[in-house]
Structure 1
Amino acid sequence: MTISKQSTTHLMLFVIMIVAGFSFPTHATSIKELNKSDRVVIKTWLSEPANKDTSLKTPRYAVNEQIILYIEVATPRWFTSGTRIANIEIPNVVTKQRNTLATNFTERKDGITWSHQRWEITLYPQEKGRFVVPSTEVNIEVSREGGGNVSGTLYSTPQQFTAAIPSGLLTDDQTWVSGRNLSIDQQWNRSSEELKVGDTITRTLTIRGEDTLAMLLPNIINSSSSNEYQSYPQPNQLSDSQTRGDYFSERKESSVYVLQAGGDLTFPAYQLTWWDLDSQQLKTIEVAGETVKVSHTFQSWLKAYWTFILGGSASVIFIGFVVVRIRHYYKTHPLPAWWIYSRAVKQGQWSQVRVLLYRVLRQQHQQLELKKHSQVNEWQQDSTDFQSEKVTVSLSRAVWKKVNVLSSPLIALFTRLTPKRALPQLDKYREHYLAKNTDVQEKSHKTKE
């Protein structure tokens, strides 16, 4: 049987296709087949804890400590498109892919050059406990032998870790942060050199740190206002960056104070508590306060002292009214005895001084002799000197104070203003009645006995 040339050609092509199918079984048609044949490899691991504790099977980190999740994909071929990693969500853990580009490098293994893509995702546990990083979806596209590309999805290996509060001096309610090389820079800006009420002061704090996140750096400036100033907080400026594997964060916060009162105004000091991952110690950064001198405007001076002004004005008006009333009163009434006595002593009119003193002695004590007012030796000597030429200004004033029970002007004024009884003679009858009633009761008591 004769075979034509065309039939022979078709037969040869069919045989070549069959042989090619058996000769290249490794030309996989999916990423999963490449992964099974170790032509695409994916690895996942966590960064080493700052405490360097390798005795634990599950790594333990400090709360707020930066943990780096590494996802690395390798192939002996080459990547024809960018690898894409799905978002990672873990309860009570802040996750952030700070570098949007993977680290690309090559490595020779058994004489074959492998291409690598390494991704870094930072994790920040917000409370103590055990956490699980779930299996993460990774979309890959690589070239295959014989031409063409293969794309598909692989999944990373789940990772576990624990987080703990690093110091017994810290509590769950306390505000603090973990990191490296934290620092705070403070700036004050005034609207004018000579401050007065209505001017402004801007306070700016810049917090910088490594291996942390800007959103985790705590607010420091208290935005509350007072009677001395009105506070207007400005929007915070957050910045995160990465340079050659080092992570830097910066938080800038500021507040504008409008001065409301004059005098010395004091702005409070602050402090930031943080856990140093390098030294494994709790540290505190002190932020100094500021005291400024503010001058009053006329309106602010009135606002600050209006109560004193009102009280002083009322006092002056009241005192003036009292003085006018007293002067008007003494135009039709005799001057008070203490006033006449003091004027006579000042002028050295000793005869009049003695007359005035004996008048007070008779009116207030119903006595006629000065020595009988007191039996004290000192008083006996003073009364003798007072009636002789040894009388002096100081002696006259001392004797007056002892004799005159109304020596104080206020007491004298109160006595004059106290209403007098309409029928003072009734007091005598009242005393007589009480004495008689007492005698009757005593006689009755003796009769019963």
Structure 2
Amino acid sequence: MATVSRFRGSLYALAKWFVLLVVFFSLSCHATTIDDLLSSGRLTIHTNVNHQGIVSVKQPITLRIEVATDRWFSKGSRVGAFTMHDVVIPPVSELAINGSRKIQGQTWVTQTREILLYPMKAGRYQIPSLGVEVSVNSAEGVVEGRVMTSPVTFEVQLPEPLQGIEEFIVSPEASLEIEGMFDIDALYRVGGAVTQVITISAADTPAMMLPELPFSEIPGVSVYHKPSEVLSRSSRGDQLGIRRETRVYIFEEVGEFQLPQQIHYWWDTDDQVLKTLVVPPQKWMVERKAFSWKSLTTDLNWADYGKAIAGLGVILALLWQLFRHRQLLVSQFLMLSHYRERQLKKHFIQAVQQQDYKAACQWLYEFYRLPSDESDTLRSVFSTDKEQSVILEQLFSSAFSAEILGSSPATISLSEAKQLLHRSLPKSLDETGLSAGIRLN
């Protein structure tokens, strides 16, 4: 009997292990995969181009990829990056659009990915098959895998009004704003500067696709171009591209100057009409800065000068003659005593010490004034001395760096500033020292 009992126990143990093995292999053979969910109709994927009507070159179209299941997603779907020839594709958003709908009375959940495409040329395009990573909570647990989309084709046309135009904006709404327009009635001075900011904005257009404003060389005017600001903003699915160009115009010479008209073409996708954004032509006048006796004669003691005249004891007629010619006498006195040069040096050094480098440039300009028939500049005055030329360029950079680049100016040492005063004054300087001056550059 004991032998029979042991035999029965062994049979029971073998039967239990056999059942476990059968269950294990059965589950292994029937494990659910993404392909199983697709083939059984419990997971679907649909791809389409969400655009109606004619697609124009540079007009955005939206590729919609929708994944749906009768269960629910354990995490968001992901679409791998891809490229297309002659198509600009901004980075794909990590956010999916979650939703649900009824299919034959059963609730299905959906995840939709939207990818913007900007075709740059006319023609027929085909979006390749794309891999989409999905994760579904099925009855057997979490099932993950890759689902492939079907290729999608679309046509792009170039509207006839845009034929022959290289640069243009395609948008339902675009605008152009200008800050710092030149005024023909304003009085600009040599050494002065004007900052102009031009901003182009366009809806449904990434900022990188907005055209760069053309640059025109202007003899007699230095133009410093601040790096372009390229901004793309998105709010509730609406995209706005912004391009901002900042330029500083520094006046070097006397005369009349102008900027030509600039025309930027814009294809209005709502009205299907070619429109323009215009920067109007601009003119302005630049004059030489008037000579300031007030700043140069601050230290002159007119009381002592009057006593000196009274001490002469001349007759009233002589006093009257002296009074009539007082400007000439003062000019001669200033010239013989080098008063003007000493005062200009003093103002220049004070401006450098106060880090007012724009004023320092102007005083240096006054110090090296040349006759009106010369066309030399400050750079030409120091062209033979490399060290002084380097210091001069540092002074220019410090004078305009804050206005151009928005940064703090570099400092110029007092010893460096004094080196700029060690050049010989031009021999052609006239007796009054009031001739037209050197240009600030």
TM-score (norm 2): 0.59
Instruction: Summarize the Cα distance change of 1:305–1:160 in structure 2 as closer, same or farther, 3 Å threshold.
Output: farther
Structure 2 alignment gaps of length 5 or more = 292-364, 377-427, 429-441
Q: What is the distance in 2 between the residues matched to 1:111 and 1:88?
A: 37
Instruction: Summarize the Cα distance change of 1:105–1:17 in structure 2 as closer, same or farther, 3 Å threshold.
Output: farther
Counterpart position of 2:346: none
Deviations 1:388-412 (A, max 9, x none): xxxxxxxxxxxxxxxxxxxxxxxxx
Q: Does 1:151 align with 2:144?
A: yes
User: What aligned pairs does 1:153-192 form with structure 2 within 5 A after superposition?
Assistant: 153-167=146-160, 169-188=161-180
Instruction: Summarize the Cα distance change of 1:304–1:95 in structure 2 as closer, same or farther, 3 Å threshold.
Output: farther
Q: Does 1:275 align with 2:267?
A: yes
Q: What is the distance in 1 between the residues matched to 2:92 and 2:83?
A: 15
- Tell me the SS of whatever aligns to 1:215: helix
Cα drift, residue 281 of structure 1 = 0.8
Counterpart position of 1:321: none
Structure 1 alignment gaps of length 5 or more = 53-59, 315-449
Cα drift, residue 172 of structure 1 = 4.5
Counterpart position of 2:135: 141
Counterpart position of 1:112: 106
Deviations 1:148-207 (A, max 9, x none): x2221121111111222112x3234521121111111111189xx964222222211111
Q: Does 1:128 align with 2:195?
A: no
User: What aligned pairs does 1:290-369 form with structure 2 within 5 A after superposition?
Assistant: 290-297=282-289, 299=365, 305-306=372-373
Cα drift, residue 99 of structure 1 = 3.1
CA RMSD of aligned residues (A): 3.3
Counterpart position of 1:212: 205
Q: What is the distance in 2 between the residues matched to 1:303 and 1:138?
A: 74
TM-score (norm 1): 0.58
Counterpart position of 1:40: 43
- Cα pair 1:42 1:74 within 8 Å, conserved: yes
- Tell me the SS of whatever aligns to 1:157: coil
Counterpart position of 2:382: none
- Cα pair 2:193 2:249 within 8 Å, conserved: yes
Q: What is the distance in 1 between the residues matched to 2:99 and 2:279?
A: 45
- Tell me the SS of whatever aligns to 1:254: strand
- Tell me the SS of whatever aligns to 1:135: coil
Instruction: Summarize the Cα distance change of 1:194–1:41 in structure 2 as closer, same or farther, 3 Å threshold.
Output: same
- Cα pair 1:61 1:163 within 8 Å, conserved: yes
Q: What is the distance in 1 between the residues matched to 2:370 and 2:81?
A: 59
Q: Does 1:196 align with 2:199?
A: no
Aligned residues: 295
- Cα pair 2:81 2:92 within 8 Å, conserved: no
Cα drift, residue 47 of structure 1 = 1.7
Question: Between the two proteins, what is the percent identity of the paired residues?
Answer: 28
- Tell me the SS of whatever aligns to 1:143: strand
Counterpart position of 2:420: none
Q: Which moved more, 1:15-24 or 1:265-274?
A: 15-24
Q: Which moved more, 1:230-239 or 1:118-127?
A: 230-239
Give the structure with higher Rg (CA). Answer: 1
Deviations 1:218-265 (A, max 9, x none): 112x32321131222221222223322322221112222122223443
Deviations 1:92-130 (A, max 9, x none): 111113533111222232343322211111111111122
Counterpart position of 2:307: none
- Tell me the SS of whatever aligns to 2:55: strand
